[in-house]
Structure 1
Amino acid sequence: MPAEPPSGRAAAVLRRWDSALIATLLLVTLAAALAVDGFATGRNAQFLLLDAVAIGLVALPVTLIVVTGEIDLSVASTLGLCSAVMGQLWVSGWPLELVVLTAVALGALLGAVNGLFVTGFGLPALAVTIGTLAAYRGLAFVVLGDRAVADFPRAWTDAVGGTALAGAVPAAMLVTAVAAAGGGGGGGGGGGGPAAPSCCTPPRWAAPCSPSATTPRPPASPASPWPAPSSGSS
């Protein structure tokens, strides 16, 4: 089979939805830099990247969930409950090292609850995570209420919000980039990641599809040029 020319591969990449998304993001950024005073500054870029760190770290595992044909709507509530517990424990006088470990363990426990209901009991992931979304969000309000906790040690906040690469990129963004590079190695680029579900094996939360829509029909047998034998012939 002849190899595809480079122009054909480039055209295929440009037709992908993620290429269109990146192009749209670049156009919006360029328009904002030209129209908004102070947008095209290094300080504003640092704040934008720092705001994207939490979203990126949450989106990475959700990508793997979606690739397997499932969905998790409770990730934001899980993050909120872990953050609320972290703030409450810090206000209560716990050492910050133990607070961080407790918040990480709580996040793993909350995710395991979702996994138990989905894989253990066979319930639809959509229904389960809608329920835990509301439950975890309510528990977060019970734990911390409407208070805000922001008096964490300066050394810790500087380590998370500080910059690297000559002061151009937040240090936390480097962690996100490393996690994305490690998680994307076995993904959809032909690596060893799980394959996307086919139409005839939809996820449990999706409506089933008809196999006839994707299963090819066998070709019809060609007509024989010879007449069929009569029933009375020997």
Structure 2
Amino acid sequence: MAEFFSLISGSSGNASFVSDGRTNILIDCGMSGKRLSELLDAEGISPSMIDALLITHEHIDHVRGAGIISRRYKIPIYATGGTHAHMEIGNVDDEMRHIVSAGKSFEIGTIGICPFAIPHDAAEPVGYSLFCGSSKFSLATDIGKMDDGILDAVRGSEAVILESNHDVDMLRVGSYPFPLKRRILSDTGHLSNESASEAALELVKSGTKKLMLGHLSKENNSPEIAMLETYTTLTQAGVDVGSDVTLRVANRSFTTKFGEPL
């Protein structure tokens, strides 16, 4: 049975897990190796069972433990050339580094993977769509601006983890310095709740049945505010949340699942 869930998701750390029962893949590792082991162990998964680590981009909240777990468990790391060149993960043998490119599909074991370009202030960032048999799962976070390329890449996914980083009003009146506010609001920053809700509606129209809002800011958002924005947009468009689509918000510190089996 296929699995896709968030281990942690937020501005301080991110990691997700995908499995088709034969191949196990970790997407990002923005936590310590110890914390990763604790979260995986709680799901009955040993880190030694991980076949590959996909990295979206080089920011520390996505790679904090990547080098450690790669070295400790001999896990190969897949990332774009730009990400490999810029992420600081210590010494990782060349044979454990694999370069991927947006738009070029590849396979790891029994899972198909297609990276897609995302607008973010990193060297060569990507999101990922993963194909487990007939099921398609996608991770789309750290997106400054949603565009047709991303929507086209993610459309048709059964389940999606979608960024809903900030409430624009909270960010504008909050304590962040102006340059940081400008960065977050830019087209290479992070996706707002409003933009996430609009993207969510497009994905539901394409057949997505399970949505998880992720990468929430601790200072400029809350799970309740993010959920309400997307829930309202969907219901106003005639979507029956709970029947037509399952809607969740990823926890920043603990594992979050979509609900019923995928």
TM-score higher than 0.5 here? no
User: What range is the shorter-chain TM-score in?
Assistant: under 0.3
**Higher Cα radius of gyration:** 1
In proportion to residue count, which structure has more strand?
Answer: 2
Q: Which has the higher contact order (CA 8 A, sep 6+)?
A: 1
Instruction: Specify which structure has the higher proportion of helix.
Output: 1
Normalising to structure 1: TM-score of the pair? 0.21
